[in-house]
């Protein structure tokens, strides 16, 4: 059960996407989010879709991975689409039944928003699929370095994130073990009402908290023993360096953005 | 008393995924009632996976587990009853303590069984006595106990269910020699006084040599040997091929025999080895 959860999971590879500088990938992902929200008509959205397919092809990841990232948000997508369908009342009326008032404009809006969200999720999940957690936090740390000026330490933020990511699988395993141990003592996790089920979690959550604290304490001790004292004066084994391919990718994204703006101008907006 | 029969079970972790791993393959064995069986094997040999099948925490992909002749998965809804009959103490069991007092924690299992207060009280006190926990400790928080005491309290939590079969997965892991000795002596006493079937999963050949009646050797997800301690240790060459070390005294006798001294290499305790060696030394006129 616990093994099915993928959170920020990295899939090893050596594609162009894998080799991009993580800082650039973070910037490009933000840019991609902008790209997804730029189009105002179907031609623009189609262009985004084609662009997404090309990027996915470049990443050489199996398509089912994207399906897996999209699956958990399908409900959200459906919910947003239905709301749009019910609340946008432009175009010709198709169904009028009580409070349900479906129009062609509403349907169009619903479909548009659904495709937009799916592109957004699929595109941004490429970031974690192609970047190791360490590279990702390195990238975040360096992108956030201007925050030093307002007395926020980006190194500490990045270190916390690295540690959190590192401990997710460990804690999953720990949860599995504690659950087995309590089940062996007859803990009933599967039946009963809501209150009973919440109460049944106590024997699992308490040992889990205790062990998290124990691990945190041990880790802090181990870090101190190796003279860790924050980012001050720390050097890296792997220096991040931008290569021509990073700037080229940025140029491509910028060109696509410009293209989308032109498409907006050419075909007008279909969104209400 | 309950007899466990394992009938050709196979279990695969993460079936149909890139991380697929056959943990155990075609394991069949019978554990008669009232014995103390040591289970040894390398890390990843499948010993922990095997024992988790015996109380229905894992369900085999193939094969059956019979408890007194009945398939434990005949009625999946009643698997909890199997867990009360086959008690399981996990590795580092002290990590599962969660109540605010030791008493309540030991009572967790019996309470889940739906016993009345008086019976729960009797069982908690008896289990505490078995593991050698002082009555005064029962009202303390688990956090106030030492590591060894916590472990014994956790073991008492399973003993209090009065299972017909008790499985202990590496109960001596991470303890100092004195703590190990205490736990092993306690398990041995418990087994003799109650006549319960006890399965002891361990890395240590010395532990097995000390307390077990029989030994089950697992290798690569399969049963390599299941025999009396004496016979298993007499197959030292095979054990070493699997990557398991025989007890130090057996090893010495083996080396002596290889060097041309006529000794019986089946000895596995210091006393037995002494009995082998003294006459030899006496013969030399020492």
Q: Are A48 and A39 in contact (CB under 8 A)?
A: yes
Nearest to A256 by CA among A113, A114, A29, A44: A44
Can you tell me whether residue B171 is helix, strand or coil? coil
pLDDT tens track for A1-30: 444 445 557 888 888 889 999 999 999 999
Kindly list the domain boundaries of chain A, sorted by start residue.
8-227+245-267
Q: Residues of A numbered 152-181 whose beta carbons fall under 8 angstroms of chain B's beta carbons: which are they? A: 177-178, 180-181
- What is the β-pairing status of strands B214-219 and B222-228? antiparallel
pLDDT bucket at A33, cuts 50 / 70 / 90:
very high
* Residue among B19, B52, B97 minimizing CB distance to A180: B52
Closest Cα of chain A to B177: distance in Å?
A: 24
The whole-number pLDDT of residue A8 equals 54
Size of interface A-B (CB pairs under 8 A): 56
Question: Which residues of chain A are within 8 Å of residue B55 when distances are taken between CB atoms?
Answer: 184
pLDDT tens track for B107-119: 999 999 999 999 9
Mean pLDDT of chain A: 86
The whole-number pLDDT of residue A3 equals 47
Distance of CA B79 to the CA centre of its chain: 21
Using the Cα atoms of residue B122, residue B124, residue B130 and residue B132 in order, give the sign of their dihedral. Answer: negative
Six token digits for residue B280: 């030899």
Q: Residues of A numbered 244-263 whose beta carbons fall under 8 angstroms of chain B's beta carbons: which are they? A: none
The whole-number pLDDT of residue A1 equals 41
pLDDT tens track for B162-183: 999 999 999 998 888 888 888 9
CA–CA separation, B87 vs B169, rounded Å?
11
Using the Cα atoms of residue B53, residue A210, residue A2 and residue A223 in order, give the sign of their dihedral. Answer: negative
Closest Cα of chain B to A168: distance in Å?
A: 18
Nearest CA in chain B to A1: B14
Closest Cα of chain A to B106: distance in Å?
A: 10
Inter-chain contact B109–A211, Cβ cutoff 8 Å? Answer: no
Which candidate in B48, B87, B98 is best for mutational testing of the A interface (most A CBs within 10 A)?
B98
Nearest to B155 by CA among B127, B174, B182: B127
Closest Cα of chain B to A167: distance in Å?
A: 17
Tokens 């009646």, residue? B213
pLDDT tens track for A103-124: 888 888 899 999 999 999 988 8
* Residue among A180, A188, A210 minimizing CB distance to B90: A180
Query: Cα–Cα distances in Å, from B62 out to B7, B76, B103?
Result: 9, 15, 40
Query: Is A3 in CB contact (< 8 Å) with chain B?
Result: yes
Closest Cα of chain A to B194: distance in Å?
A: 20
Query: Is A2 in CB contact (< 8 Å) with chain B?
Result: no
Inter-chain contact A185–B80, Cβ cutoff 8 Å? Answer: no
In a structure prediction context, what are the per-residue pLDDT tens digits for chain B, which is 286 residues long?
A: 678 999 999 998 876 666 677 888 889 999 988 899 999 988 888 898 999 999 999 999 999 999 988 899 988 888 889 999 999 999 999 999 999 999 999 999 999 999 999 999 999 999 999 999 999 999 999 989 988 899 999 999 999 999 999 999 999 988 888 888 889 999 999 998 898 999 999 888 888 888 888 999 999 889 999 998 888 888 888 888 888 878 888 888 888 888 888 887 777 778 888 888 888 887 554 4
Residue B206, Ramachandran bin (φ over 0: left; ψ between -120 and 50: alpha; else beta): alpha
Nearest CA in chain A to B93: A181
Largest Cα separation within chain B, whole Å, is 70
Tell me the percentage of chain A whose pLDDT exceeds 70.
97
Six token digits for residue A203: 């024997």
CA–CA separation, B282 vs B275, rounded Å?
11
* Residue among B93, B97, B109 minimizing CB distance to A186: B109
Residues of B with CB under 8 A from a CB of A: 14, 19, 52, 55, 57, 80, 83-84, 87-88, 90, 93, 95-98, 108-109, 112-113, 157-158, 161
**pLDDT for A82 beyond 80:** yes
The whole-number pLDDT of residue B286 equals 43
Residue B219: in which H helix or E strand, if any? Answer: strand B214-219
The whole-number pLDDT of residue A150 equals 85
Question: Which residues of chain B are within 8 Å of residue A187 when distances are taken between CB atoms?
Answer: 108, 112
Distance of CA A183 to the CA centre of its chain: 34
CA–CA separation, B219 vs B242, rounded Å?
7
**pLDDT for A148 beyond 90:** no
Tell me the percentage of chain A whose pLDDT exceeds 90.
32
Query: Cα–Cα distances in Å, from A215 out to A14, A218, A220, B239?
Result: 34, 5, 8, 36
Nearest to B96 by CA among B146, B150, B172, B160: B150
Query: Is A64 in CB contact (< 8 Å) with chain B?
Result: no
Tokens 């087994």, residue? B191
In B32-136 the beta strands, taken as DSSP E runs, fall at: 36-41, 62-67, 70-71, 86-89
Inter-chain contact A186–B157, Cβ cutoff 8 Å? Answer: no
Q: Which residues of B236-259 are buried (b: 16+ CB within 10 A; e: fewer)?
A: beebeebebebbebbebbbebeee
Question: Which residues of chain A are within 8 Å of residue B112 when distances are taken between CB atoms?
Answer: 185-188
Inter-chain contact B83–A203, Cβ cutoff 8 Å? Answer: no
Contacts by residues A251-260 (CB-CB < 8 Å, ≥ 24 positions apart):
A253/A28, A253/A31, A253/A32, A253/A35, A254/A31, A256/A35, A256/A47, A256/A51, A257/A31, A257/A34, A257/A35, A257/A38, A259/A47, A260/A35, A260/A38, A260/A39, A260/A44, A260/A47, A260/A48
CA–CA separation, A80 vs A74, rounded Å?
10
Which candidate in A1, A4, A183, A185 is best for mutational testing of the B interface (most B CBs within 10 A)?
A185
Question: Which residues of chain B are within 8 Å of residue A199 when distances are taken between CB atoms?
Answer: none
Prediction ipTM score: 0.85
Inter-chain contact A184–B84, Cβ cutoff 8 Å? Answer: no
Q: Which residues of B39-75 are buried (b: 16+ CB within 10 A; e: fewer)?
A: bbbeeebbbbbbbbbbbbbbebeebebbbeeeebeee
Closest Cα of chain B to A41: distance in Å?
A: 41
For residue A137, how many other CB atoms are within 10 A of its CB?
Answer: 24
């Amino acid at each position: 059960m616990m093994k099915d959860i993928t959170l920020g999971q990295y899939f090893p590879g050596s594609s162009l996407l894998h080799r991009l500088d993580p800082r650039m990938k973070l910037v490009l992902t933000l840019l991609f989010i902008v790209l997804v929200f730029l189009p105002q008509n179907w031609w623009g959205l189609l262009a985004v879709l084609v662009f997404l397919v090309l990027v996915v092809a470049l990443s050489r990841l199996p398509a089912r991975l994207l399906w897996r990232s999209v699956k958990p948000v399908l409900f959200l997508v459906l919910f947003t689409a239905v709301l749009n369908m019910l609340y946008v009342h432009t175009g010709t009326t198709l169904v009028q039944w009580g409070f349900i008032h479906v129009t062609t404009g509403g349907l169009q809006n619903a479909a548009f928003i659904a495709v937009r969200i799916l592109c957004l999720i699929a595109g941004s999940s490429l970031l974690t699929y192609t970047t190791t957690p360490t590279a990702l936090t390195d990238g975040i740390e360096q992108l956030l370095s201007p925050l030093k000026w307002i007395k926020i330490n980006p190194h500490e933020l990045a270190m916390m994130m690295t540690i959190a990511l590192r401990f997710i699988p460990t804690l999953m395993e720990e949860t599995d073990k504690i659950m087995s141990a309590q089940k062996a003592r007859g803990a009933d996790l599967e039946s009963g009402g809501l209150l009973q089920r919440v109460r049944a979690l106590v024997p699992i959550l308490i040992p889990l908290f205790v062990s998290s604290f124990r691990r945190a304490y041990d880790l802090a001790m181990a870090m101190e023993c190796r003279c860790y004292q924050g980012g001050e004066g720390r050097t890296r084994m792997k220096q991040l360096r931008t290569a021509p391919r990073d700037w080229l990718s940025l140029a491509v994204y910028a060109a696509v953005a410009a293209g989308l703006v032109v498409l907006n101008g050419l075909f007008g907006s279909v969104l209400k | 008393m309950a007899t466990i029969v394992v009938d050709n079970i196979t279990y695969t972790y993460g079936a149909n995924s890139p991380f697929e791993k056959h943990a155990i393959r075609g394991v069949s064995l019978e554990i008669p009632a009232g014995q103390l069986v040591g289970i040894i094997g390398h890390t990843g040999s499948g010993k922990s996976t095997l024992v988790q099948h015996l109380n229905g925490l894992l369900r085999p992909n193939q094969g059956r587990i019979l408890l007194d002749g009945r398939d434990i998965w005949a009625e999946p809804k009643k698997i909890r009853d199997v867990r009360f009959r086959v008690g399981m103490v996990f590795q580092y069991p002290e990590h599962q303590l969660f109540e605010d007092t030791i008493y309540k924690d030991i009572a967790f299992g019996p309470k889940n069984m739906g016993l009345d207060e008086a019976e729960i009280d009797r069982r908690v006190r008896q289990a505490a006595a078995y593991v050698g926990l002082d009555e005064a400790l029962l009202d303390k928080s688990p956090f106030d106990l030492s590591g060894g005491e916590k472990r014994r309290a956790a073991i008492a939590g399973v003993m209090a269910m009065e299972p017909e079969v008790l499985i202990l997965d590496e109960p001596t892991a991470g303890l100092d020699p004195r703590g190990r000795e205490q736990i092993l002596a306690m398990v041995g006493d418990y087994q003799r006084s109650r006549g319960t079937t006890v399965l002891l999963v361990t890395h240590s050949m010395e532990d097995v040599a000390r307390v077990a009646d029989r030994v089950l050797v697992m290798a690569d997800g399969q049963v390599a040997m299941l025999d009396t301690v004496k016979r298993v240790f007499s197959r030292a060459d095979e054990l070493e091929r699997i990557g398991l070390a025989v007890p130090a005294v057996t090893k010495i006798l083996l080396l002596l025999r290889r060097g041309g001294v006529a000794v019986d290499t089946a000895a596995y305790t210091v006393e037995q080895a002494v009995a082998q060696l003294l006459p030899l030394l006496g013969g030399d006129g020492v």
